[in-house]
Chains A and B, each alone.
Chain A
Amino acid sequence: MGPAAAVQELGWYALRFVDQLGKLTVFAAQILRALASPPVRVRVFVQAVFDVGVLSLIIICVSGTAVGMVLSLQGYNTLVRFGAEQSLGAVVGLSLIRELGPVLTALLATGRAGSATAAEIGTMVATEQLDGLRMMAVDPIDLVVAPKALAMTVAMPLLSALFITFGLFGGYLVGVGLMGIDGGTYMSSLQSAVDFRDDVLGSLLKALVFGGLVGLIATFRGFTSAPTSAGVSAATTSTVVVASVCILLFDYVITALWGV
């Protein structure tokens, strides 16, 4: 490939990126309009929360506990060299609340619920179910897309909070039960290090942003997938890839901007 062709290729990718970004923005606006205008689809939303939130519960709780346990173990082994093992609670708590909780929850939810959402909507495109809705004068964005995107946004902070709580519990188990740190020391170190406004609120904000991102990307990829089985699988894969990268990029941006 000559240099001109390479530049041409680059230009093509850049154009396609901008094109996709524009379509995504329009899509997001359509979702917001659908949410703001009647009818309010409570039942569909509850079902979506069930699919996204409840079905992700086990993986979130188990992963949270495991991450808390390993953080506690690693933290203890490092801190004990400086004789600062009484700060273990702070280390575990701050890492979980500020960073690992929202990010890992979002990544896990992307793999568990985001891919499922993209596949479900993609299948509905492939089997003409969404066209069927449009022919029945029902907006598929209003009925199918918006409740799923909203459910993801709402469920993410809840899942993240559960992840963190289970992580703190796992950290406590290892730190207090295994390493013999005093339980009161662990908790007081945790409580004095963690601030509601700076840490907890920021953590929830991060989770909320990630939830919106994953919901938007998953529904967009499903909605715009090619109406074939290959299209559905491509939509699923690209949801996981794009959403994961976006979560990590936005994590940096949020941290840099708001110091969360």
Chain B
Amino acid sequence: MTRSPLRDFIVGCFVLAGLGAIAYLSISVGGLSYGGPGGLNLYATFDQTGGLKPRAPVVIAGVKVGQVTSITLDQNARARVDLDLDKSLKIPTDTSASIVTSGILGDRYISLQLGGESEYLKPGDEISFTESAVILERLIGKLIHNTDTAPAKTEGQ
């Protein structure tokens, strides 16, 4: 086997292109750079998460600033949602978190409305003001009950 500079160069280019594609998929698409150690970890509790999933984005004014790391049930049977935010952010203590939907049936994500306090939340703190997810089916159900209660009950059974 002999050296062939051109072939070696082309193979080198191929490997670089492949690694570049992996890096692009990992970092830019897969969001590898997000949520690394040292991020700002906060949590919030909700009555209803309504299909929020781990890795859902957390946005402030529509800009993605972090993601949901886990969703668990706490001892009061409420949903505890752990968030991982950009550590350079300053989140006032009276900030509120709400679960919203992109479009009517789109994915759930968490939107933060920053408050006006001069004190900021530290890693591990709770965002205490929360607004639970709106469940579309329940809304529709309420609507039907309020307008047409009696016939729905008798004919439905």
Contacts and interface: CB of A to CB of B under 8 A. Distances in A.
Interface string B13-53: 01101110110111011111000000000000000000000
B105 A84 contact: yes
Contact of A194 (B15, B17, B21, B30): B30
A86 B21 contact: no
A43 B7 CA distance: 10
A28 B36 CA distance: 39
Contact of A87 (B10, B11, B31, B106): B106
Contacts, number: 104
A157 interface: yes
Interface residues of B, number: 34
Given A43-B1, A50-B7, A200-B26, A192 B64 contact: yes
B87 interface: no
Given A49-B11, A53-B14, A200-B25, A195 B107 contact: no
Contacts of B31: 191-192, 194-196
Q: Could you tell me the dominant secondary structure of chain A's interface residues?
A: helix
Interface in B46-79: 55-57, 64, 67
B151 interface: no
A166 to B, nearest CB: 8
Contacts of A108: none
Interface residues of A, number: 40
A192 B57 contact: yes
Nearest to A207: B22
Given A46-B8, A84-B103, A192-B57, A161 B15 contact: no
Contact of A196 (B11, B17, B30, B107): B30
B150 interface: no
Nearest to A200: B30
A226 interface: no
Given A194-B31, A196-B32, A161 B18 contact: yes
Interface string B99-127: 00011111101000000000000000000
Contacts of A46: 7-8, 11
A244 interface: no
16 contacts: A46-B11, A49-B15, A83-B104, A84-B105, A86-B103, A86-B106, A87-B106, A158-B21, A161-B21, A162-B17, A165-B25, A192-B55, A192-B109, A194-B31, A196-B32, A203-B25
The 4 closest A-B pairs by CB, nearest first: A158-B18, A196-B30, A161-B21, A43-B1
Interface of A: 41, 43-44, 46-47, 49-50, 53-54, 57, 82-84, 86-87, 90, 93, 97, 155, 157-159, 161-162, 164-165, 168, 188, 190-196, 199-201, 203-204
Interface of B: 1-3, 7-8, 10-11, 14-15, 17-19, 21-22, 24-26, 28-32, 55-57, 64, 67, 102-107, 109
